[in-house]
């Protein structure tokens, strides 16, 4: 790796899982599970397989139980049919060499009775309705979220157990690990924040109590699948889904210190407002990162340059991209080549079929550089009467290498020679339009300048092969030793060896001595 910025595209050892790059596909809710069963289908498998070039895929949020559901047609991980559906996805991703984690999700109060078992109320830490929030129901409409009911103290252990079982099911389905969704205003986040948790028992009130549910879930999941296969997603300051805390730093800094004890696979942090502004006064994400000793994944508003800087500077180990992956299944290649990105169609984000899901175009090949590799902005083309003979001359005298040769009607129509770090193109006269050789005009109005290690030996070789030595090698006042010759095909060459490094002051003195002056503005 020559450029530290390229670190984003290099492999990363994620607690024993080797990721092929440091680009992560963030979890993206797309609402395309099978109606009635909430099981993934072949369409989902193709979608994820298309994006398997990501170093790590984190699946869309997946409900751990029927009460954890908050939107229509989101997948679950609590039934045999769902596990079987997810196996199709993991098999497809692994067949493409990808790594995939399942995101474990309980929406808490962000739901609607039509989505809950038996039409019940959504559950939450406290019976506080989120203001202005809507959810997506089976009719295909967004409707207001209603009033939740507060969980009974006796109900909480069962939800923790649901997380444990869901993690177990994820591994059965072939996932490489799981991510606990503790962000974006869903159940765990609701327990953490005083704006949504006003309980008076052991799960509310003090910071320690508000952390309890999150830490119990982490404990259960890591016991089930292992800490190195468990990540967690946090959004300390994002007001998503109406969740807020009066002093987020006082909650999330203690939380991150507690998470250090688990030796997790990673912490995935949404910086700023999910899908919005990254800056938030009063919360220091740099300091937050320093509190965690394990792999650090960042998210929200990262583009190519920001991502490369985050990784090369050592601030982040991994960078997650969300919406960019919707329209760019080959996002990794586009970022690496700095190619234009497809723009997603918001009308197809939630629900639907293949349109806007698996039909986005990929690059057919690497975008061409304006100047092809190995060429310079100006690349000379030499027209000669006998290209075959000219090639042999340049190979012997200048040490050229023939790298391409195309013939047409018995003549060389395009040959490329490499001389040092430069290319020249040679072709026989009249093979391209009416182009004729320098000999046709009795000489050439153009000279080529070639820098070599030993001008004297090159000049001798040229003369031996029929070149006309117009000026023998001589030392010039500007630090070069040069010879001037005409090759057997009518082209003029200055053959040069730079022999003296001259200071600007000394060069100025010599120029004056030899009658040269600077006159960039008016050469007359």
* Residue 497: strand, helix, or coil: strand
Please choose, from the candidates 372, 361, 374, the residue with its C-alpha nearest in 3D space to the C-alpha of residue 329.
361
Counting Cα atoms < 13 Å in the Cβ hemisphere of 25 gives: 33
221 token code pair? 């999941």
Q: Are 415 and 467 in contact (CB under 8 A)?
A: no
φ, ψ dihedrals at 339, nearest 5°? -90, 155
7 token code pair? 């670190």
194's CB contacts (< 8 A; 6+ apart) are: 210, 245, 246
Burial of 16 (0-12, 13-18, 19+ CB in 10 A): exposed
360 is known as an active-site residue: no
Q: Are 49 and 59 in contact (CB under 8 A)?
A: no
Instruction: Count CB atoms within 10 A of the CB of residue 340.
Output: 10
274's CB contacts (< 8 A; 6+ apart) are: 183, 184, 235, 238, 240, 300
500 token code pair? 């003296």
Residue 515 pairs in a beta bridge with none
58's CB contacts (< 8 A; 6+ apart) are: 24, 25, 26, 27, 100, 101, 102, 103, 179, 231, 268, 320
CA distance readout (Å), 249 to 207, 254, 295, 353 = 11, 8, 20, 42
CA distance 118 to 115: 9
Q: Are 319 and 25 in contact (CB under 8 A)?
A: no
Q: Are 390 and 415 in contact (CB under 8 A)?
A: no
CA distance 521 to 430: 40
Please choose, from the candidates 212, 184, 183, 196, the residue with its C-alpha nearest in 3D space to the C-alpha of residue 246.
196
372's CB contacts (< 8 A; 6+ apart) are: none
The separation between CA 267 and the C-alpha centre of its own chain, rounded to angstroms, equals: 19
Q: Are 177 and 229 in contact (CB under 8 A)?
A: yes
Q: Are 21 and 33 in contact (CB under 8 A)?
A: no
Quickly tell me which residue has 């030793």 as its tokens.
481
Q: Which of 48, 71, 186, 492 is labelled catalytic?
A: 186
* Catalytic (active-site) positions: 186
């Amino acid at each position: 790796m020559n450029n530290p910025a390229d670190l984003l595209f290099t492999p990363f050892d994620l607690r024993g899982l080797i990721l092929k790059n440091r680009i992560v596909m963030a979890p993206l809710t797309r609402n395309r599970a099978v109606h009635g069963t909430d099981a993934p289908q072949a369409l989902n498998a193709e979608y994820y397989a298309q994006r398997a070039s990501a170093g790590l895929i984190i699946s869309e949020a997946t409900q751990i139980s029927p009460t954890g559901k908050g939107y229509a047609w989101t997948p679950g991980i609590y039934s045999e049919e769902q596990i079987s559906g997810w196996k199709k996805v993991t098999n497809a991703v692994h067949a493409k060499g990808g790594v995939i984690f399942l995101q474990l999700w309980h929406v808490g109060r962000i739901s609607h009775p039509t989505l809950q078992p038996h039409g019940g109320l959504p559950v939450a830490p406290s019976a506080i309705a989120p203001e202005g929030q809507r959810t997506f129901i089976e009719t295909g409409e967004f409707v207001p979220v209603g009033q939740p009911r507060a969980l009974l103290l006796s109900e909480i252990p069962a939800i923790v157990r649901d997380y444990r079982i869901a993690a177990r099911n994820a591994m059965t389905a072939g996932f490489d690990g799981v991510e606990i969704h503790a962000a974006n205003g869903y159940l765990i986040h609701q327990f953490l924040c005083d704006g949504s948790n006003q309980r008076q028992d052991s799960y509310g009130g003090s910071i320690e109590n508000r952390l309890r549910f999150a830490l119990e879930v982490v404990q259960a999941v890591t016991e089930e699948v292992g800490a190195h296969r468990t990540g967690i997603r946090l959004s300390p300051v994002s007001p998503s889904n109406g969740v807020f805390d009066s002093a987020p730093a006082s909650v999330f800094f203690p939380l991150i210190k507690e998470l250090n004890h688990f030796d997790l696979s990673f912490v995935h942090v949404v910086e700023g407002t999910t899908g919005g502004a990254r800056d938030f006064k009063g919360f220091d994400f740099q300091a937050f990162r320093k509190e965690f000793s394990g792999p650090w994944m960042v998210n929200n508003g990262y583009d190519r340059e920001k991502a490369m800087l985050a990784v090369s500077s050592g601030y982040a180990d991994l960078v997650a991209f969300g919406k960019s992956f919707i329209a760019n299944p080959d996002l990794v290649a586009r970022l690496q080549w700095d190619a234009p990105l497809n723009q997603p169609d918001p009308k197809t984000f939630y629900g639907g079929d293949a349109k806007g899901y698996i039909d986005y175009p990929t690059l057919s090949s690497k975008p061409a550089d304006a100047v092809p590799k190995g060429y310079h902005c100006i690349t000379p083309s030499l027209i000669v009467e006998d290209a075959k003979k000219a090639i042999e001359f340049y190979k012997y005298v200048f040490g050229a290498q023939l790298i391409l040769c195309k013939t047409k009607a018995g003549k060389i129509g395009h040959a490329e020679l490499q001389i040092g770090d430069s290319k020249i193109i040679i072709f026989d006269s009249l093979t391209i339009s009416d182009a004729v050789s320098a000999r046709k005009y009795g000489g050439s109005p153009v000279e080529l300048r070639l820098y070599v290690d030993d001008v004297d030996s090159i000049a001798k070789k040229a003369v031996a092969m029929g070149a006309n030595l117009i000026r023998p090698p001589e030392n010039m006042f500007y630090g070069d030793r040069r010879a001037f010759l005409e090759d057997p095909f009518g082209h003029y060459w200055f053959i040069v060896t730079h022999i003296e490094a001259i200071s600007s002051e000394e060069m100025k003195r010599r120029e004056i001595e030899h009658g040269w002056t600077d006159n960039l503005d008016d050469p007359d």
